[in-house]
């Protein structure tokens, strides 16, 4: 297999975008015309701030301890204890950083060139828009949004402020291995793609049950932490406390593991399919099984995205291989990854982005192991220096579409009803792929001591998607109305944290 040049890599992996106009109904910063002069020449120092620094953001901080030509100058977090801890860590590296608890104050700092956003999901879109309005470049972690509508607003803002660089944290887009595997499949050596399957078999233990609303620690500004989400007391208090991390499993802030981990695998699977937009329809099956806890999102889920070229299936499993074990199931050797099934074999893409080609007999044909995920953050810095958007690999448009897929799948789940597993098997029997996936899921639940004969599972409706409008359509008006009123399709934010209104082609 040839070694890909940088030019070939970019040609294969990037998608451009159009321009739009922005009208900030609640804009914090004057919009006006985009700035003409921006820092970031080959000889200038790029000054970076990292926002949301408890987990993923801590890793981003370390990147800018050492990345040549950059300097970490500020950090921000709604938790003052985390802020103090990370500031001390930076000081130990000989780096003095400004600290902000309020992101809006950080954006007023004109010495900051770029912000890296690693907060909980419900803040991603609003922080991106505000940063662009304030004249900053943006690296925003996945998923791009908490709901489809606000994600589109972030895309439109990025399209308007064309001089500013916006990179999404979909780091698989920097994997040369995946690009080479896509080219291998395109060559026809494996025949046509039959389906693409994303997997998140990742152990998620019970977060426990609380007796009611929990007190927020004094070190957390809970109004700031909540931001555009509904301001409600936390109803969780596991090993990470009442606020941090376990927000992933509550609809007010997250979307379960399809939004948390699965955005990566959904993005890769869609990339292989060559599908730039949304599918005609979606449906979901799942539930929360095992030990009861406060979490709302499913720990077992199947989402089927019915693309015309070939279906894309995503599977979530949070329970182990069987009761009493910590090890997880695997499908064709993969636990967290992607399987692209073709007529003459399949591609296995690992969580690290490495890609292996197998025949249908399970024998390895070839492998691509050069990596590249670690270069994604450096790719952002390359774009900041060059001021060329075509350098960016994790485009905001791609991130929006893949994130929207996760939301659409979850909306079908939320509109679903508890059914017996026998009834579900009957309902999907005409679709061999969904039938096979569901049968394997039932075997998995049985191995975890779930009585599938009496325990019911949620069967989500098949929802038709209007890809252009990024909402639902169909003859069943009541169902469509419910789907289009989902908080995962549109939520405008609250109070000072309203999402700016954005309309492509003009001000609203």
pLDDT band per the 50, 70, 90 thresholds, residue 324: very high
329 closest CA partner among 452, 435, 442, 249:
442
Structure tokens at 455: 């325990």
* Mean pLDDT of the 360-377 span: 92
pLDDT digits (tens, 9 = 90+) for 159-211: 999 999 999 999 999 999 999 999 999 999 999 999 999 999 999 999 999 99
**pLDDT beyond 80 at 12:** no
* Mean pLDDT of the 438-442 span: 98
- Kindly report the average pLDDT of the chain as a whole number: 92
* Mean pLDDT of the 264-277 span: 98
SS3 content of the chain, % helix, strand, coil (to 5): 35, 20, 45
pLDDT digits (tens, 9 = 90+) for 370-422: 877 889 999 999 999 999 999 999 999 999 999 999 999 999 999 999 999 99
* Mean pLDDT of the 241-253 span: 98
* Mean pLDDT of the 135-146 span: 98
Q: DSSP code of 323?
A: T
Per-residue pLDDT at 36 = 36
* Mean pLDDT of the 20-43 span: 42
Q: How far apart are CA 63 and CA 56, in angstroms?
A: 11
**pLDDT beyond 60 at 489:** yes
Per-residue pLDDT at 291 = 86
**pLDDT beyond 70 at 15:** no
Global pTM value: 0.93
pLDDT band per the 50, 70, 90 thresholds, residue 14: very low
* Mean pLDDT of the 312-330 span: 97
pLDDT band per the 50, 70, 90 thresholds, residue 27: low
Q: How far apart are CA 92 and CA 81, in angstroms?
A: 17
* Mean pLDDT of the 132-141 span: 98
Q: How far apart are CA 252 and CA 143, in angstroms?
A: 15
**pLDDT beyond 70 at 13:** no
Per-residue pLDDT at 502 = 75
Per-residue pLDDT at 308 = 95
Long-range contacts of 160-163 (CB under 8 A, 24+ apart): 160/19, 160/20, 160/21, 160/22, 160/34, 160/132, 160/502, 161/22, 161/34, 161/132, 161/133, 162/19, 162/34, 162/389, 163/34, 163/35, 163/36, 163/38, 163/387
**pLDDT beyond 80 at 254:** yes
Q: Name the CA radius of gyration of the chain, rounded.
A: 22
pLDDT digits (tens, 9 = 90+) for 79-131: 999 999 999 999 999 999 999 999 999 999 999 999 999 999 999 999 999 99
């Amino acid at each position: 297999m040839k070694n890909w040049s940088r030019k070939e890599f970019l040609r294969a992996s990037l998608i451009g975008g159009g321009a739009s106009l922005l009208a900030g109904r609640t804009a914090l910063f004057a919009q006006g015309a985009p700035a003409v002069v921006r820092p970031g020449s080959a000889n200038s120092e790029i000054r970076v701030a990292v926002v949301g620094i408890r987990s993923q953001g801590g890793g981003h901080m370390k990147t800018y301890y050492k990345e040549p030509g950059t300097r970490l100058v500020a950090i921000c977090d709604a938790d003052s204890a985390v802020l103090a801890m990370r500031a001390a860590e930076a000081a130990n590296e000989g780096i003095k950083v400004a600290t902000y608890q309020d992101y809006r104050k950080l954006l007023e700092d004109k010495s900051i060139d770029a912000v890296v956003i690693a907060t909980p999901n419900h803040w991603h879109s609003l922080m991106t828009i505000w940063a662009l309005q304030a004249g900053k470049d943006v690296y925003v972690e996945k998923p791009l949004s908490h709901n489809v509508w606000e994600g589109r607003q972030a895309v439109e803002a990025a399209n308007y402020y064309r001089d500013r660089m916006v990179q999404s944290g979909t780091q698989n887009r920097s994997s040369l291995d995946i690009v080479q595997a896509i080219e291998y499949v395109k060559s026809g050596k494996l025949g046509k793609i039959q389906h693409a399957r994303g997997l998140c078999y990742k152990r998620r233990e019970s977060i426990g049950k609380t007796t009611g609303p929990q007190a927020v620690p004094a070190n957390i500004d809970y109004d700031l932490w909540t931001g555009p989400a509904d301001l409600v007391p936390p109803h969780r208090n596991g090993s990470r406390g009442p606020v941090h991390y376990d927000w992933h499993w509550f609809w007010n802030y997250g979307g379960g593991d399809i939004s948390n981990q699965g955005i990566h695998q959904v993005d890769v699977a869609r990339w292989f399919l060559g599908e730039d937009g949304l599918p005609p329809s979606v449906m979901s099956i799942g539930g929360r099984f095992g030990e009861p806890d406060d979490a709302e999102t499913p720990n077992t889920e199947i989402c089927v995205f019915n693309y015309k070229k070939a279906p894309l299936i995503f599977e979530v499993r949070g329970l182990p291989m069987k009761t009493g074990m910590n090890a997880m199931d695997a499908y064709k050797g993969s636990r967290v990854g992607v399987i692209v099934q073709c007529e003459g074999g399949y591609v296995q893409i690992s969580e690290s982005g490495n890609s292996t080609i197998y025949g249908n007999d399970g024998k390895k044909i070839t492998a691509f192991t050069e990596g590249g995920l670690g270069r994604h953050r450096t790719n952002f810095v390359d774009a900041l220096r060059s001021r060329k958007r075509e350098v960016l690999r994790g485009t905001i448009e791609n991130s929006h579409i893949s994130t929207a897929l996760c939301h659409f799948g979850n909306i079908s789940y939320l509109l679903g009803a508890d059914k017996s597993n026998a009834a579900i098997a009957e309902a999907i029997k005409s679709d061999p792929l969904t039938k096979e996936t569901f049968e394997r899921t039932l075997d998995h639940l049985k191995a975890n001591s779930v009585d599938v004969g009496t325990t019911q599972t949620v069967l989500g409706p098949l929802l038709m998607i209007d890809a252009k409008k990024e909402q639902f359509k169909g003859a069943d008006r009541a169902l469509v109305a419910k789907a289009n009123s989902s908080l995962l399709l549109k939520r405008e934010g609250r109070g000072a944290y309203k999402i700016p209104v954005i309309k492509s082609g003009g001000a609203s």
